[in-house]
C-alpha cells in the first residue's frame, strides 16, 4: 500500500509561548501547587530565580528538585519520583536543557505507571507539564521522548510515550543567554542534526519536512551569530525556534544513525549529546549520499537555502557547508582529534557498533547500514576521512 493510501498522523501538542519575557505567562496559568525539576546550573546562573520570582509575585507555592545531572541516570529519576509522589503537585515545571526536561518526563512516566498498579487509568490525575528549555538544542519541550542513562551498562535508554509530551512549552530567549560558547555550538549542532535526520528519514512527511527544513535554514543563518556575539538575542531567539521546530519534525519522522552512533559514543566517553552529533554528522551525510532518495533531499535542502550546486554534487556541497560550519564553531573533525586514545577506541568498538545497530534511531535512517558498513563508519568517525 502506498503512503498516500494510508491514514497517517501528525500532531503538534504543546501550546507554545515564545519571545522575550514569555516566562511571565506562568502567572496566568492557574497552576495550583508547583514542583520544579531542574539542575544546579539553573541555580548558579540565576535562571531558577527568574522563575521563582514570577511564582513568588503571584503567591504560587512551589517545591524545587534540583538534583538533575547532565545525561540523567535512572537513579536521578528514582529520586525525583519520590519528590513527586510526596508533593503531589498540580503542575510540574521542567527548567533546563534536555537533561532536566527528560528527567521530568521520565518522572511523569514512572509516576503514572506506578499509580496504574493501584488506580484505574482514567482516574489518574496527571500534573500540567510545562517545559522551559534553557538550551537551544534538544527540542525536548515538544517531543514524546526522554533519554535516560543506564550507568551500569554505559548505555542510553530512549523512552517514548505520549504521556511525556509537555502541555505547554515556553521559549524565552532570556533563558538561553547564559549558555557558554562551547555548549551553544554543541547544542546548535544537535538542532542541525535533528533537522537533517528528520528531513531525510524514511518516515518523513510533508508536515515534518516543512518544520525540518525551516529549522536547518535557521541554524545556518543564526548558529554562528548566536555564539560569536553573545549579546545577539535575535540569533539566540531564532535558534530557540529552530530547536523547537526540529523537535516537532523528529517527533513525527524519527531520526537516523548520526544519533545512533552519538548515543553509543556519548555514553562510552561521556561526550555532551550535541558535541557527539557534531562529530558524527558529516560522515553520515557522506554515507547517505549513497542513497538516491537521501541525495534528492540533500538537493532540496540546498534549494531551500538558495545555495547553488552542480548537478549530481548535492551531497558534496551539503557536506562542505556542514564541515565549514563546524570549523567556524571550532568543533573537532573526529574522535581522534578530540583526544580519545586509539587503544580505548579499538577496545570499545565492537560494543558500541552493536549498540548503534540496535538503537531505535537506526530504524528510520534512509540507508540502513550493514554491520560491515557500520564498522567502517565508526572508523571514519574515529580517524576522520
Ligand X SMILES: NC(=O)c1ccc[n+]([C@@H]2O[C@H](COP(=O)([O-])OP(=O)(O)OC[C@H]3O[C@@H](n4cnc5c(N)ncnc54)[C@H](O)[C@@H]3O)[C@@H](O)[C@H]2O)c1
- Name which position in 89, 127, 137, 299 contacts ligand X (CB under 6 A): 137
Partner from Zn ion, ligand X, none binding residue 295, C-beta < 5-8 Å depending on class: none
- Give the three-class secondary structure for 129: strand
Asked if 319 contacts 366 with a C-beta cutoff of 8 angstroms, the reply is no
Residue 224 sits at φ, ψ, to 5 deg, of -60, -45
Range in contact with ligand X (rule: CB under 6 A) among 1-9, 133-141, 224-232, 367-375 = 133-141
Q: How far is the CB of 31 from Zn ion (least distance, A)?
A: 30
3-state helix, strand, coil in the chain (%, to 5): 60, 10, 25
Q: Which is nearer to Zn ion, 172 or 190 (CB)?
A: 190
Total residue length of the chain: 385
**Using rule CB under 6 A, residue 145 touches ligand X:** yes
- Name which position in 138, 226, 288, 295 contacts ligand X (CB under 6 A): 138
**Using rule CB under 6 A, residue 103 touches ligand X:** no
By CB under 6 A, the residues from 55 to 74 that bind ligand X are 70-71
Q: How far is the CB of 71 from Zn ion (least distance, A)?
A: 12
By CB under 6 A, the residues from 169 to 188 that bind ligand X are 175-176, 178-179, 183, 187
Give the separation between CA 377 and CA 262, rounded to whole angstroms.
12
Q: How far is the CB of 334 from ligand X (least distance, A)?
A: 21
**Using rule CB under 5 A, residue 102 touches Zn ion:** no
- In this structure, what C-alpha cell is assigned to residue 253? 519522522
- Name which position in 102, 172, 190, 197 contacts Zn ion (CB under 5 A): 190
Q: Which is nearer to ligand X, 176 or 185 (CB)?
A: 176
Range in contact with ligand X (rule: CB under 6 A) among 17-25, 141-149, 220-228, 358-366 = 141-149
Chain position carrying cell 526536561: 101
**Using rule CB under 5 A, residue 359 touches Zn ion:** no
Partner from Zn ion, ligand X, none binding residue 41, C-beta < 5-8 Å depending on class: ligand X
Q: In the chain, which residue ranges form alpha helices assigned H by DSSP?
A: 40-44, 47-57, 74-87, 98-115, 181-200, 206-228, 233-253, 257-269, 273-288, 292-304, 314-328, 335-338, 342-358, 371-383
Ramachandran quadrant class, 308 (left: phi over 0; alpha: psi -120 to 50; beta: rest): beta
Q: How far is the CB of 117 from Zn ion (least distance, A)?
A: 33
Bridge partners of 339? none
- In this structure, what C-alpha cell is assigned to residue 204? 518523513
By CB under 6 A, the residues from 240 to 299 that bind ligand X are 273-274
Tell me which DSSP letter residue 324 carries: H
Give the separation between CA 175 and CA 131, rounded to whole angstroms.
12
Q: How far is the CB of 273 from Zn ion (least distance, A)?
A: 6
CA angle 201, 203, 205 (to 5 degrees): 100
Count the site residues for ligand X by CB under 6 A: 30
Partner from Zn ion, ligand X, none binding residue 318, C-beta < 5-8 Å depending on class: none
Return the half-sphere exposure (C-beta side, CA atoms, 13 A cut-off) of residue 62: 27
DSSP for 49-72 reads HHHHHHHHHTT--EEEEEEE-SS-
- Give the three-class secondary structure for 368: coil
**Using rule CB under 6 A, residue 96 touches ligand X:** yes
Range in contact with ligand X (rule: CB under 6 A) among 37-45, 53-61, 107-115, 196-204 = 37-45
Q: How far is the CB of 2 from Zn ion (least distance, A)?
A: 31
Chain position carrying cell 516566562: 23
CB count within 10 Å of CB 331 equals: 21
Partner from ligand X, Zn ion, none binding residue 326, C-beta < 5-8 Å depending on class: none
Closest by Cα among 132, 177, 161, 128 to 16: 132
Partner from ligand X, Zn ion, none binding residue 70, C-beta < 5-8 Å depending on class: ligand X
Q: Which is nearer to ligand X, 289 or 359 (CB)?
A: 359
Asked if 93 contacts 130 with a C-beta cutoff of 8 angstroms, the reply is yes
Partner from Zn ion, ligand X, none binding residue 187, C-beta < 5-8 Å depending on class: ligand X
The binding site for Zn ion (CB under 5 A) comprises: 190
Where does this chain bind ligand X (CB under 6 A)? 39, 41, 45, 47, 70-71, 96-100, 102, 134-135, 137-140, 143, 145-147, 175-176, 178-179, 183, 187, 273-274
Amino acid at each position: 500500500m502506498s503512503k498516500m493510501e494510508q491514514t497517517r498522523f501528525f500532531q503538534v501538542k504543546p501550546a507554545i509561548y515564545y519571545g522575550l519575557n514569555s516566562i511571565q505567562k506562568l502567572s496566568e496559568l492557574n497552576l495550583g501547587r508547583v514542583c520544579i525539576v531542574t539542575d544546579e546550573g539553573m541555580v548558579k546562573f540565576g535562571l531558577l530565580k527568574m522563575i521563582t520570582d514570577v511564582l513568588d509575585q503571584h503567591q504560587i507555592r512551589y517545591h524545587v528538585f534540583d538534583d538533575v545531572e547532565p545525561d540523567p541516570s535512572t537513579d536521578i529519576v528514582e529520586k525525583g519520583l519520590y519528590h513527586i509522589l510526596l508533593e503531589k503537585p498540580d503542575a510540574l515545571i521542567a527548567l533546563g536543557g534536555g537533561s532536566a526536561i527528560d528527567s521530568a518526563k521520565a518522572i511523569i512516566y514512572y509516576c503514572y505507571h506506578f499509580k496504574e498498579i493501584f488506580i484505574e487509568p482514567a482516574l489518574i490525575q496527571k500534573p500540567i507539564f510545562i517545559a522551559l528549555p534553557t538550551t537551544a538544542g534538544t527540542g525536548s519541550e515538544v517531543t514524546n521522548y526522554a533519554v535516560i542513562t543506564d550507568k551500569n551498562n554505559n548505555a542510553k535508554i530512549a523512552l517514548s510515550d505520549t504521556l511525556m509530551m509537555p502541555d505547554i512549552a515556553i521559549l524565552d530567549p532570556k533563558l538561553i543567554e547564559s549558555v557558554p560558547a562551547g555548549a551553544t555550538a554543541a547544542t546548535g549542532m544537535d538542532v542541525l542534526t535533528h533537522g537533517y535526520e528528520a528531513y531525510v528519514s524514511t518516515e518523513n512527511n510533508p508536515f515534518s519536512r516543512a518544520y525540518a527544513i525551516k529549522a536547518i535554514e535557521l541554524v545556518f543563518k543564526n548558529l554562528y551569530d548566536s555564539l560569536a556575539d553573545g549579546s545577539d538575542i535575535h540569533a539566540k531567539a531564532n535558534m530557540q525556534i529552530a530547536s523547537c521546530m526540529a523537535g516537532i519534525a523528529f517527533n513525527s519522522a524519527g531520526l537516523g544513525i548520526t544519533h545512533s552512533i552519538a548515543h553509543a559514543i556519548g555514553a562510552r566517553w561521556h561526550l555532551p549529546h550535541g558535541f557527539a552529533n557534531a562529530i558524527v554528522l558529516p560522515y553520515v551525510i557522506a554515507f547517505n549520499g549513497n542513497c538516491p532518495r537521501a541525495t534528492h533531499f540533500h538537493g532540496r535542502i540546498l534549494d531551500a537555502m538558495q545555495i547553488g550546486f552542480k548537478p549530481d554534487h548535492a551531497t558534496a556541497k551539503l557536506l562542505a557547508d556542514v564541515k565549514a560550519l563546524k570549523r567556524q564553531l571550532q568543533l573537532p573533525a573526529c574522535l581522534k582529534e578530540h583526544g580519545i586514545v586509539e587503544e580505548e577506541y579499538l577496545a570499545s568498538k565492537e560494543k558500541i557498533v552493536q549498540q548503534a545497530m540496535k538503537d531505535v534511531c537506526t530504524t528510520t535512517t534512509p540507508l540502513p547500514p550493514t554491520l560491515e558498513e557500520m564498522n567502517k563508519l565508526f572508523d571514519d568517525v574515529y580517524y576522520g576521512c
